[in-house]
Homo-oligomer: A and B are copies of this chain.
Protein backbone atom coordinates (compact mmCIF):
# COMPACT_ATOMS: atom_id res chain seq x y z
CA UNK A 1 0.00 0.00 0.00
CA UNK A 2 1.49 3.31 -1.04
CA UNK A 3 1.01 6.42 1.03
CA UNK A 4 2.40 9.61 -0.42
CA UNK A 5 2.94 11.61 2.73
CA UNK A 6 4.66 14.99 2.46
CA UNK A 7 8.21 15.14 3.81
CA UNK A 8 7.54 18.48 5.45
CA UNK A 9 4.46 20.09 6.98
CA UNK A 10 3.86 23.76 7.76
CA UNK A 11 1.97 24.30 11.00
CA UNK A 12 -0.24 27.34 11.52
CA UNK A 13 -0.92 27.78 15.22
CA UNK A 14 -4.29 29.45 15.66
CA UNK A 15 -4.43 29.41 19.46
CA UNK A 16 -4.18 33.19 20.04
CA UNK A 17 -7.24 33.69 17.82
CA UNK A 18 -9.41 30.58 17.34
CA UNK A 19 -8.34 29.26 20.72
CA UNK A 20 -8.74 32.31 22.93
CA UNK A 21 -11.84 33.49 21.06
CA UNK A 22 -13.71 30.39 22.18
CA UNK A 23 -13.06 30.55 25.89
CA UNK A 24 -14.91 32.73 28.36
CA UNK A 25 -11.86 34.23 30.04
CA UNK A 26 -10.63 37.53 28.67
CA UNK A 27 -6.87 37.23 28.46
CA UNK A 28 -4.59 40.26 29.05
CA UNK A 29 -2.78 41.55 25.98
CA UNK A 30 0.58 40.86 27.58
CA UNK A 31 -0.28 37.18 28.04
CA UNK A 32 -1.32 36.97 24.39
CA UNK A 33 1.90 38.52 23.14
CA UNK A 34 3.95 36.31 25.48
CA UNK A 35 2.11 33.26 24.15
CA UNK A 36 2.87 34.32 20.58
CA UNK A 37 6.55 34.97 21.33
CA UNK A 38 6.85 31.58 23.01
CA UNK A 39 5.25 29.90 19.99
CA UNK A 40 7.86 31.62 17.80
CA UNK A 41 10.64 30.42 20.08
CA UNK A 42 9.33 26.85 19.72
CA UNK A 43 9.73 27.15 15.96
CA UNK A 44 6.20 28.03 14.85
CA UNK A 45 6.47 30.44 11.93
CA UNK A 46 2.80 30.99 11.13
CA UNK A 47 0.51 32.20 13.88
CA UNK A 48 -3.02 33.53 13.75
CA UNK A 49 -2.68 36.23 16.36
CA UNK A 50 -5.97 38.12 16.47
CA UNK A 51 -9.30 38.87 14.85
CA UNK A 52 -10.38 42.34 13.76
CA UNK A 53 -14.00 41.67 14.46
CA UNK A 54 -16.34 44.00 16.34
CA UNK A 55 -15.54 43.91 20.09
CA UNK A 56 -19.30 43.96 20.59
CA UNK A 57 -19.49 40.42 19.18
CA UNK A 58 -16.17 39.03 20.32
CA UNK A 59 -14.90 40.93 23.38
CA UNK A 60 -11.95 38.51 23.70
CA UNK A 61 -10.48 40.08 20.55
CA UNK A 62 -11.02 43.73 21.52
CA UNK A 63 -7.26 44.27 21.85
CA UNK A 64 -6.43 43.11 18.31
CA UNK A 65 -4.64 46.40 17.49
CA UNK A 66 -2.58 46.30 20.66
CA UNK A 67 -1.58 42.64 20.12
CA UNK A 68 -0.40 43.27 16.58
CA UNK A 69 1.41 46.50 17.44
CA UNK A 70 3.23 45.01 20.40
CA UNK A 71 4.60 42.01 18.53
CA UNK A 72 8.24 42.38 17.48
CA UNK A 73 8.59 42.11 13.69
CA UNK A 74 10.27 38.84 12.78
CA UNK A 75 11.62 38.06 9.34
CA UNK A 76 10.89 34.36 9.73
CA UNK A 77 7.37 34.65 11.11
CA UNK A 78 4.00 35.42 9.65
CA UNK A 79 1.45 36.95 12.02
CA UNK A 80 -1.99 36.35 10.52
CA UNK A 81 -5.10 38.27 11.56
CA UNK A 82 -8.70 37.43 10.76
CA UNK A 83 -10.56 40.23 8.98
CA UNK A 84 -14.25 39.49 8.52
CA UNK A 85 -14.97 42.63 6.50
CA UNK A 86 -13.43 45.74 4.93
CA UNK A 87 -13.65 47.73 8.14
CA UNK A 88 -11.75 44.99 9.99
CA UNK A 89 -9.24 44.79 7.15
CA UNK A 90 -8.58 48.53 7.34
CA UNK A 91 -8.11 48.39 11.11
CA UNK A 92 -5.68 45.49 10.59
CA UNK A 93 -3.67 47.34 7.97
CA UNK A 94 -3.50 50.43 10.18
CA UNK A 95 -2.02 48.22 12.88
CA UNK A 96 0.65 46.92 10.53
CA UNK A 97 -0.85 43.60 9.39
CA UNK A 98 1.11 41.91 6.59
CA UNK A 99 -1.15 38.88 6.28
CA UNK A 100 -4.89 38.55 6.79
CA UNK A 101 -7.43 35.77 6.68
CA UNK A 102 -10.95 35.89 5.29
CA UNK A 103 -13.68 33.51 6.20
CA UNK A 104 -16.43 31.91 4.07
CA UNK A 105 -18.69 28.93 4.73
CA UNK A 106 -19.72 25.95 2.66
CA UNK A 107 -23.11 25.97 4.39
CA UNK A 108 -25.70 28.62 3.53
CA UNK A 109 -27.32 28.56 6.99
CA UNK A 110 -23.96 28.78 8.76
CA UNK A 111 -23.02 31.74 6.58
CA UNK A 112 -26.27 33.51 7.48
CA UNK A 113 -26.01 32.81 11.21
CA UNK A 114 -22.29 33.42 11.53
CA UNK A 115 -21.76 36.36 9.18
CA UNK A 116 -25.30 37.56 8.58
CA UNK A 117 -25.11 37.20 4.81
CA UNK A 118 -25.33 34.53 2.13
CA UNK A 119 -22.27 32.69 0.83
CA UNK A 120 -22.46 34.73 -2.39
CA UNK A 121 -22.68 37.99 -0.44
CA UNK A 122 -19.73 37.02 1.75
CA UNK A 123 -17.59 36.35 -1.30
CA UNK A 124 -18.66 39.72 -2.77
CA UNK A 125 -17.71 41.48 0.46
CA UNK A 126 -14.19 40.11 0.14
CA UNK A 127 -13.62 41.67 -3.28
CA UNK A 128 -12.62 45.14 -2.04
CA UNK A 129 -10.40 43.49 0.57
CA UNK A 130 -8.65 41.46 -2.14
CA UNK A 131 -8.18 44.59 -4.27
CA UNK A 132 -6.66 46.60 -1.43
CA UNK A 133 -4.55 43.66 -0.29
CA UNK A 134 -3.14 43.24 -3.80
CA UNK A 135 -2.26 46.95 -3.93
CA UNK A 136 -0.58 46.81 -0.52
CA UNK A 137 1.19 43.49 -1.07
CA UNK A 138 -0.69 41.93 1.85
CA UNK A 139 -1.10 38.15 1.68
CA UNK A 140 -4.61 36.78 2.10
CA UNK A 141 -5.48 33.38 3.43
CA UNK A 142 -8.98 32.00 2.91
CA UNK A 143 -11.08 29.78 5.14
CA UNK A 144 -13.86 27.51 4.03
CA UNK A 145 -15.79 26.45 7.11
CA UNK A 146 -18.20 23.55 7.67
CA UNK A 147 -16.37 21.38 5.14
CA UNK A 148 -17.44 18.15 6.87
CA UNK A 149 -20.75 19.24 8.34
CA UNK A 150 -22.76 22.17 9.64
CA UNK A 151 -24.25 22.65 13.11
CA UNK A 152 -27.51 23.79 11.47
CA UNK A 153 -27.77 21.86 8.20
CA UNK A 154 -26.00 18.62 9.11
CA UNK A 155 -24.41 17.22 5.95
CA UNK A 156 -22.76 19.71 3.60
CA UNK A 157 -22.43 19.00 -0.12
CA UNK A 158 -18.82 18.46 -1.18
CA UNK A 159 -19.61 20.40 -4.34
CA UNK A 160 -20.20 23.47 -2.16
CA UNK A 161 -16.87 22.98 -0.38
CA UNK A 162 -15.15 22.78 -3.76
CA UNK A 163 -17.03 25.77 -5.18
CA UNK A 164 -16.34 28.09 -2.23
CA UNK A 165 -12.69 27.01 -1.91
CA UNK A 166 -12.06 27.53 -5.61
CA UNK A 167 -13.75 30.94 -5.45
CA UNK A 168 -11.40 32.00 -2.63
CA UNK A 169 -8.34 30.89 -4.61
CA UNK A 170 -9.66 32.50 -7.80
CA UNK A 171 -10.10 35.84 -6.04
CA UNK A 172 -6.47 35.77 -4.94
CA UNK A 173 -6.07 33.84 -1.67
CA UNK A 174 -2.68 32.13 -1.61
CA UNK A 175 -4.19 29.20 0.28
CA UNK A 176 -7.52 27.93 1.57
CA UNK A 177 -7.84 26.37 4.99
CA UNK A 178 -10.58 23.73 5.07
CA UNK A 179 -12.38 23.87 8.40
CA UNK A 180 -14.18 21.00 10.07
CA UNK A 181 -15.63 23.74 12.24
CA UNK A 182 -17.59 21.46 14.54
CA UNK A 183 -15.23 18.48 14.46
CA UNK A 184 -17.90 16.16 13.12
CA UNK A 185 -16.05 14.42 10.27
CA UNK A 186 -14.57 10.95 10.08
CA UNK A 187 -11.65 9.76 7.92
CA UNK A 188 -13.42 8.48 4.80
CA UNK A 189 -15.53 11.63 4.55
CA UNK A 190 -12.47 13.80 5.09
CA UNK A 191 -10.59 11.90 2.40
CA UNK A 192 -13.46 12.12 -0.08
CA UNK A 193 -13.74 15.84 0.57
CA UNK A 194 -10.03 16.41 -0.06
CA UNK A 195 -10.09 14.17 -3.14
CA UNK A 196 -12.81 16.40 -4.61
CA UNK A 197 -11.20 19.71 -3.66
CA UNK A 198 -7.79 18.88 -5.13
CA UNK A 199 -9.41 18.39 -8.53
CA UNK A 200 -9.94 22.18 -8.53
CA UNK A 201 -7.34 23.52 -6.10
CA UNK A 202 -3.80 22.10 -5.96
CA UNK A 203 -2.95 20.32 -2.69
CA UNK A 204 -0.11 22.76 -1.96
CA UNK A 205 -2.69 25.56 -1.72
CA UNK A 206 -4.77 23.72 0.87
CA UNK A 207 -4.61 23.59 4.65
CA UNK A 208 -6.49 21.41 7.13
CA UNK A 209 -8.25 23.14 10.00
CA UNK A 210 -9.85 20.32 11.94
CA UNK A 211 -11.47 20.62 15.32
CA UNK A 212 -11.14 17.68 17.68
CA UNK A 213 -14.65 17.93 19.13
CA UNK A 214 -15.27 14.19 18.70
CA UNK A 215 -11.65 13.07 18.93
CA UNK A 216 -11.37 12.47 15.19
CA UNK A 217 -8.98 15.25 14.15
CA UNK A 218 -5.70 13.31 14.01
CA UNK A 219 -7.29 10.40 12.16
CA UNK A 220 -8.85 12.84 9.69
CA UNK A 221 -5.54 14.65 9.23
CA UNK A 222 -3.79 11.33 8.62
CA UNK A 223 -6.37 10.45 5.96
CA UNK A 224 -5.83 13.78 4.19
CA UNK A 225 -2.02 13.79 4.39
CA UNK A 226 -2.09 10.99 1.83
CA UNK A 227 -3.24 13.51 -0.75
CA UNK A 228 -0.18 15.66 -0.29
CA UNK A 229 -1.79 18.38 1.82
CA UNK A 230 1.08 19.80 3.86
CA UNK A 231 -0.41 22.71 5.82
CA UNK A 232 -2.12 22.08 9.14
CA UNK A 233 -3.85 24.49 11.49
CA UNK A 234 -3.72 23.56 15.16
CA UNK A 235 -3.91 25.18 18.57
CA UNK A 236 -1.35 24.73 21.33
CA UNK A 237 -2.85 22.93 24.35
CA UNK A 238 -5.91 22.34 22.14
CA UNK A 239 -6.83 25.81 23.37
CA UNK A 240 -10.39 26.81 22.69
CA UNK A 241 -13.75 25.15 22.73
CA UNK A 242 -16.80 24.60 20.61
CA UNK A 243 -19.59 27.20 20.62
CA UNK A 244 -21.98 24.47 19.46
CA UNK A 245 -21.29 21.98 22.27
CA UNK A 246 -20.68 23.34 25.76
CA UNK A 247 -17.70 21.69 27.46
CA UNK A 248 -16.42 20.08 24.27
CA UNK A 249 -12.90 20.64 23.04
CA UNK A 250 -11.99 22.81 20.09
CA UNK A 251 -9.02 22.84 17.75
CA UNK A 252 -6.76 19.84 17.53
CA UNK A 253 -3.76 20.30 19.82
CA UNK A 254 -0.59 21.39 18.06
CA UNK A 255 1.52 19.17 20.32
CA UNK A 256 -0.41 16.03 19.38
CA UNK A 257 -0.23 16.88 15.66
CA UNK A 258 3.52 17.54 15.83
CA UNK A 259 4.10 14.33 17.80
CA UNK A 260 2.32 12.35 15.08
CA UNK A 261 4.15 14.07 12.24
CA UNK A 262 7.59 13.68 13.80
CA UNK A 263 6.81 10.02 14.54
CA UNK A 264 6.02 9.62 10.85
CA UNK A 265 9.34 11.19 9.87
CA UNK A 266 7.66 14.38 8.64
CA UNK A 267 9.57 17.57 9.44
CA UNK A 268 7.92 20.64 10.97
CA UNK A 269 10.86 22.69 12.21
CA UNK A 270 9.21 22.71 15.63
CA UNK A 271 10.85 21.89 18.97
CA UNK A 272 8.18 19.65 20.57
CA UNK A 273 9.59 20.00 24.07
CA UNK A 274 9.41 23.78 23.91
CA UNK A 275 5.96 23.58 22.37
CA UNK A 276 4.71 21.43 25.26
CA UNK A 277 6.02 24.07 27.67
CA UNK A 278 4.07 26.76 25.80
CA UNK A 279 0.91 24.67 26.20
CA UNK A 280 1.44 24.47 29.94
CA UNK A 281 2.20 28.19 30.13
CA UNK A 282 -1.05 29.29 28.50
CA UNK A 283 -3.14 26.70 30.35
CA UNK A 284 -1.84 28.05 33.64
CA UNK A 285 -2.42 31.65 32.60
CA UNK A 286 -6.05 31.04 31.69
CA UNK A 287 -6.49 28.51 34.52
CA UNK A 288 -8.03 26.21 31.97
CA UNK A 289 -7.55 22.60 30.93
CA UNK A 290 -4.64 21.55 28.72
CA UNK A 291 -6.34 19.40 26.07
CA UNK A 292 -3.06 18.09 24.67
CA UNK A 293 -2.47 14.44 25.52
CA UNK A 294 1.20 14.79 24.64
CA UNK A 295 1.25 17.73 27.06
CA UNK A 296 -0.09 15.50 29.83
CA UNK A 297 2.76 13.01 29.34
CA UNK A 298 5.69 15.40 29.00
CA UNK A 299 5.15 17.66 31.95
Residues of A within 8 A of B (CB): 1-3, 5, 185-189, 191, 212-216, 218-219, 221-223, 226, 242, 245, 247-249, 253, 256, 259-260, 262-265, 292-294, 296-297, 299
Contacts and interface: CB of A to CB of B under 8 A. Distances in A.
How many identical subunits does the complex contain? 2
Contacts of A294: 214-215
Nearest to A221: B219
B296 A256 contact: no
Contacts of A219: 218-219, 221-222, 260
Given A219-B222, A222-B187, A222-B219, A297 B214 contact: yes
A259 B214 contact: yes
Contact of A297 (B189, B223, B248, B260): B248
Contacts of A260: 186-187, 215-216, 219
26 contacts: A1-B2, A1-B191, A5-B188, A185-B263, A186-B263, A187-B222, A187-B263, A189-B263, A212-B293, A213-B293, A213-B297, A214-B256, A214-B294, A215-B218, A215-B256, A215-B259, A215-B260, A215-B294, A218-B219, A219-B221, A219-B260, A222-B222, A242-B297, A245-B296, A247-B296, A249-B293
Contacts of A215: 218, 253, 256, 259-260, 292-294
A97 B3 CA distance: 44
B188 A293 contact: no
B187 A264 contact: yes
Contacts of A292: 215
Contacts of A299: 247
A2 B1 CA distance: 8
Q: Which 9 A-B pairs have the closest CB atoms?
A: A186-B263, A215-B293, A215-B256, A218-B219, A245-B297, A219-B222, A188-B264, A219-B219, A248-B296
